[in-house]
Chain A
Amino acid sequence: MSALLNIAARRAPAGLRRAATSATSQIRHYSSPIDLRAVVNRRFLDEQKELQSLARAFADNEFAPKMQEWDENQHFPADVLRKGAELGFGGLYTREDVGGAGLTRLDTSIIFEALSTGCTSTTAYISIHNMCAWMIDSFGSEEQRQKYLPRLTSMEQFASYCLTEPGAGSDAGGLSTTAVKKGSHYVLNGSKAFISGGGSSDVYVIMARTGGPGPKGISCFIVEKGFKGLSFGKKENKLGWNSQPTRAVIMEDCEVPAENLVGVEGQGFSIAMKGLNGGRINIGSCSLGAAQASIEAAVEHVKVRKQFNQPLAHFQNTQFKLADMATSLLSSRLMIRQAAAMLDQGHPDVASYCAMAKLHSTDECFKIIDDSLQLHGGYGYLKDYKVNVFLRDARVHRILEGTNEVMRMVTSRAMLTE
Chain B
Amino acid sequence: MSNNLRILVATKRVIDYAVKIRVNAAGTAVETANVKHSMNPFDEIGTEQAIQIKEGLEKAKTGKAEVVVVSCGPAKVQETLRTALAMGADRAIHVESNDELQPLAVAKVLKAIVEKEKPDLVILGKQAIDDDSNQTGQMLAGLLNWPQATFASKVELGEKAMTVTREVDGGVETIKTALPAILTTDLRLNTPRYASLPNIMKAKKKPLAKLTVAELGVDVKPRLEILKVAEPAKRQGGKMVESVDDLVDKLKNEAKVL
Contact = CB atoms under 8 A, between A and B. Distances in A.
Most buried by A among B83, B86, B197: B197
A216 to B, nearest CB: 38
Interface string B66-85: 00000000000001001100
Name A's interface SS: helix
B196 to A, nearest CB: 4
A50 B83 contact: yes
B237 interface: no
A67 interface: no
Contacts of B197: 51, 54, 87-89, 92, 101, 103, 111
Contact of B196 (A47, A57, A88): A88
Interface residues of B, number: 13
Interface residues of A, number: 18
A47 B201 CA distance: 8
A58 interface: yes
A344 to B, nearest CB: 16
A69 interface: no
B196 A87 contact: yes
B194 interface: yes
B196 A51 contact: no
Interface in B200-233: 200-201, 204
Given A50-B82, A50-B83, A50-B86, A96 B198 contact: yes
Contacts of B194: 54, 57-58, 87
A194 B200 CA distance: 36
Interface in A31-63: 46-47, 50-51, 53-54, 57-58
Contacts of B79: 46
A58 B196 CA distance: 11
B113 interface: no
Interface-centre pick from A53, A58, A86, A89 (highest chain B CB count, 10 A): A53
A54 B195 contact: yes
Contacts of A86: 196
Interface of B: 38, 79, 82-83, 86, 194-198, 200-201, 204
27 contacts: A46-B79, A47-B201, A47-B204, A50-B82, A50-B83, A51-B197, A51-B200, A53-B38, A54-B195, A54-B197, A54-B200, A58-B194, A86-B196, A87-B194, A87-B195, A87-B196, A87-B197, A88-B196, A92-B197, A101-B197, A101-B198, A101-B201, A102-B198, A102-B201, A103-B197, A103-B201, A111-B197
Interface of A: 46-47, 50-51, 53-54, 57-58, 86-89, 92, 96, 101-103, 111
